[in-house]
Amino acid sequence: MKEFLMLIREDANYGEMSADEMQACIEKHYSWVETLKKNGRFKEAQPLEAGGAHIRGKQRIVSDGPFLEGKECVSGYYILLAESLEEAIEIAKGNPDLDWDRAVEVREIMPMED
């Protein structure tokens, strides 16, 4: 089984989602993750804080990341387990975030060379 990093990209502003809609979003995720766990396809998942810093180059220039308001940025990640990239893509397509027009990115984590 290979490991895949799935990044969730979204606009950190939830806009006009209502209480009911937010609850629906949580519930869909919950049951999706439960299914992944049951099928042995889930390793871990974490949300990321909206704040953070961007540090660049030899001079270590620190700036606010493009993490706030109105810009699409990485809001969390999953480590998925799958046999192939194709399977990982199929799993990722099931992520309910896509129903809210967010984007996900799936990358295989390179295994250590033995």
Q: State in angstroms the smallest separation of the CB of 17 from another protein.
A: 7
Does 59 participate in binding another protein (rule CB under 8 A)? Answer: no
* Cβ–Cβ < 8 Å for 85, 23: no
Task: Decide whether 34 or 105 has the Cβ nearer to another protein.
Answer: 34
Residue closer to another protein (CB basis): 46 or 59: 46
Buried b (16+ CB within 10 A) or exposed e, 22-61: eeebeebeeebbeebeeeebbbeeeeeeeeeeeeeeeeee
Binding site for another protein (CB under 8 A): 14, 16-23, 25-27, 29-30, 33-34, 45-47, 75-76, 97
